Amino acid sequence: MVSAPVLTRERALEVLGTVPDPEVPVISVVELGIVRDVEVRPGGAVTVTITPTYSGCPAMFEIEKDVRSALVEAGATAVEVRTVLSPAWTTDWIGPEAREKLRAYGIAPPGRAESGGLVTLTRARPPVPCPFCGSSDTRLQSEFGSTACKAIHVCNDCRQPFDEFKAH
């Protein structure tokens, strides 16, 4: 009889690296930076600590369900998903490879978050480079995009509309 492989923390993180963010499926929940910690106890029970991108994020229910399903399929005997709100998530937790995946997908990756994690809508912001042609000759069309974490821009050179993942 072949026994199931033991689930390790490294393997659990690898599995979570395959769970896509439901709102931006080109990056995983690990790449997005919302998976804060993973603990695997003897016997295969797993606790995953996550921080939502913002309070009230509607995707969190789906993310928790997908995290549980992926880990159980990988051999976890039980999965607890713990949500922590402090420190607050920031786009600075999105790594360089995930930022490039966003750009290649047609979403302008976020710039650096403002100090203190505050989002200022009234202050003039630098132009957001177009993820399609790279031009900085772009304009903000709407501060509110397809999700609360995105804004809509238009490139004046290639004329493509595109989402920007807002820094916060």
Which pLDDT score is estimated for 35? 97
Which pLDDT score is estimated for 1? 46
User: Which residues of the chain are under the pLDDT cut of 50?
Assistant: 1-2
CATH architecture for segment(s) 9-83: 2-Layer Sandwich (3.30)
> Long-range contacts of range 22-30, CB-CB < 8 Å, 24 or more positions apart?
22/59, 22/62, 22/63, 22/66, 23/59, 23/146, 23/147, 23/149, 24/102, 24/105, 24/107, 24/165, 26/101, 26/102, 26/104, 26/105, 26/107, 27/94, 27/98, 27/101, 27/102, 29/63, 29/66, 29/67
The domain locations on the chain are: 9-83, 96-165
Tens digit of each residue's pLDDT (9 = 90 or more) over 39-68:
999 999 999 999 999 888 889 999 999 999
